[in-house]
Structure 1
Amino acid sequence: MPKKERKRLQVVISEEQDALLTRTAYELSSPERLISKSEVVRLAIEKIARELGESEQLDELRTLLDDENVSDDA
């Protein structure tokens, strides 16, 4: 069975955001299964997309992004 093709995305994050990713991965992990930071990011993407489909929280998320001074260097 061929491997599932995946796209790679590179983003720049702050040390604080990296620490949050690390802590979240640790908290989601169990002795049976370690969760990677990449898996946390994929989970977050799915969760945000689902929540946006269920409600109108776009303005709240935009405000959060503006407050964090998030920029995309693409």
Structure 2
Amino acid sequence: MKKYRFIIRDARKRVLADSNIEEVDTETACQAVKLAFLLFTSKHGFQPAASIRLNDERGVELASFSFGTNGRH
């Protein structure tokens, strides 16, 4: 298992989540983070504009994606 760190920020760059996870590979880590974000927001009835960054354990950015921001974050 590989260690990853993800950071979720809203459109104003405030940190909504900053956590570490362990997954078998980068693709699985990306899917896990997106699914957790979508489940959390749907459970609470909202989806803020947000960006998610996934880093490896050394801090190297592996992936970045956004929800509801039209590419602006």
TM-score range, shorter chain: 0.3 to 0.5
TM-score, normalised to structure 2, is 0.36
TM-score by length of 1: 0.36
Rg larger in structure? 1
- Which protein is richer in strand relative to its size? 2
